[in-house]
Amino acid sequence: MWTEPHGTEHITLIDPRDGKPSAVVRCADAVDVDAAVSTARRLFDDGPQWPLPDRLRALSRLAEIIERRVEDFADIISVEIGAPAAFARQGQVGTAVSTLRGIIEAASTYRFAETVADSVVIAEPAGPVAAITPWNFPLHQALGKVGAALACGCPVVLKPSELTPLSSYLLAEAALEAGVPAGWLSVLAGRGEVTGRALVEHPDIEVVSFTGSTEVGRSIAATAGARLARVALELGGKSPSVLLDDLDDDAFAAAVTTSLRFCLMNAGQTCAAWTRMIVPATRYADAAALLRELAVTYVPGENLGPLVSATHWERVTGFLREGVDAGAEVIHGEPAPPRPAHGYYLNPVVFGRVTPSMRIVREEIFGPVLVVQTHSGDDDAVRLANDTCYGLGGAVFGADQARAVAVARRIRSGSVHINGLNGNRSAPFGGFKQSGIGREFGRWGLEEFLEVKSIQPPPGFAYPISHSLLLEENHE
Ligand code: NAD
């Protein structure tokens, strides 16, 4: 069901490929938030409930509908963030569908009930959820939260980024077609400070699932903490890619190639991007030469999309000027590029000869910018990799796989890839340190939306602990 918001503020969306207006969106205000949350609360408290098998069927239909409408979703994401068509289809929509299917799989096999000695432990839906998402992978991030919350039996109110509400509107349309009952998913467009804040402060929201910047995540955790609402936070990163000193020339070139590719994915606007390449000091010149060759193959407007907004373009290029002023070597790129006449495009920039205290090394830039650091051996590489307030992603490349795994184990980060970039939709994703609290995806993602209850049956009472029976009992 579509309703006109009570809110009267309008946001004009800008297509980052040409800087021209693409749509005008009316924002939800605190009255709209209250209406959506109250509906979610009523559905949760009073029923009629929506049984798990039906929820999983609807989510499977949703995955099929998104796959069928891949072009519609990809086109809208291209309008919203400028993603090139091929990346919009595979990297954005494809990843989102895979995420949703991973959630369905996890929920189909999750043990919602188990016995512990003579207790029965039951995982119950935690209650109405606020899902607040960023703009960089708008559909994937929305589905990571909406899919898991609905799978667990929690009604959700989704507030997408004010830059990317259109893909969430399309998601709402697809959810209706998939049979998600009215009120289980509400989508409210609006600004973080208004719509987002009203959601986080609403007393009937039991779980706030947030993906975005560390700065906003910290303030959301404080607000939610004041009323002890649960939070799950997926925040920023400055992830390392460590190349060990036993790689031969081919493996070294492959490691540099893969690392640069992931750094520049989505124009460098990826939370887990490997934005610090940590190479043996003896191979700095090799790495620099390879990076120069590779970086020119990323062409803005062709295989490299624009930055999301004029403000973001200014922020990212501000870091470039700072890097030069701080004395970093520009291995590749233009450190003071003119603003393009059309769109917010930026060529890749690679810095070398950096020091750990430089802001380009410490802060998340969220653009097509790589810094190259040098190490003197495994211990030094681990020290540099961990010299950050973040701990989201990372990679280790080495000929001796056991040694590479040992280095990966010492990196304080939520996920570390070894000798490649391999996705696994059932594995948890999230951050150590200031990269977040909690995990998304797989069974860990479900647990953000579940409360655990221990039932102590009377002596001699045989609690019916069949997995499927308890599923039904727990969710009908
Ligand atoms: P952001 O923090 O500015 O905004 C994220 C969302 O929070 C938006 O919907 C925004 O409207 C909302 N918001 C802002 N202020 C709010 C407030 N006071 N109360 C409630 N909601 C509020 O982030 P962004 O610029 O949209 O996204 C980029 C950031 O997201 C980067 O830091 C990136 O690393 C991070 N990110 C993290 C992950 C992850 O999984 N760890 C994934 C993608 C992006």
Task: Return the active site residues.
Answer: 234, 271
pLDDT of residue 1: 82
pTM for the full predicted model: 0.97
pLDDT of residue 461: 80
Judgement on whether residues 445 and 361 belong to the same structural domain of the protein: no
Task: Show the domain range for 411.
Answer: 239-418
Judgement on whether residues 215 and 353 belong to the same structural domain of the protein: no
The segments of the chain whose pLDDT lies below 70 read 47-48, 464-476
In a domain, 323, yes or no: yes
> CATH no. for residue 120?
3.40.605.10
pLDDT of residue 466: 53
In a domain, 188, yes or no: yes
Q: Which two tokens stand for residue 107?
A: 């929920």
Question: Does residue 268 line the site of ligand 1, with CB under 6 A?
Answer: no
Question: Does residue 436 line the site of ligand 1, with CB under 6 A?
Answer: yes
In a domain, 272, yes or no: yes
pLDDT of residue 382: 98
pLDDT of residue 465: 63
pLDDT of residue 468: 47
Specify whether the CB–CB gap between 344 and 338 falls below 8 A.
no
Phi/psi region, residue 172 (left: phi>0; alpha: psi -120 to 50; beta: rest), is alpha
pLDDT of residue 470: 46
Judgement on whether residues 224 and 249 belong to the same structural domain of the protein: no
> CATH no. for residue 294?
3.40.309.10
In a domain, 74, yes or no: yes
In a domain, 1, yes or no: no
In a domain, 257, yes or no: yes
Judgement on whether residues 369 and 251 belong to the same structural domain of the protein: yes
Question: Does residue 192 line the site of ligand 1, with CB under 6 A?
Answer: yes
In a domain, 3, yes or no: no
pLDDT of residue 70: 98
Judgement on whether residues 222 and 254 belong to the same structural domain of the protein: no
pLDDT in tens, 368-407: 999 999 999 999 999 999 999 999 999 999 999 999 999 9
pLDDT in tens, 37-95: 999 999 999 866 899 999 999 999 999 999 999 999 999 999 999 999 999 999 999 99
Going by alpha carbons, the residue nearest to atom 15 of ligand 1 is 192
Going by alpha carbons, the residue nearest to atom 10 of ligand 1 is 192
Going by alpha carbons, the residue nearest to atom 11 of ligand 1 is 192
Rg of the chain, C-alpha, whole Å? 23
Judgement on whether residues 197 and 273 belong to the same structural domain of the protein: no
Number of domains in the chain: 2
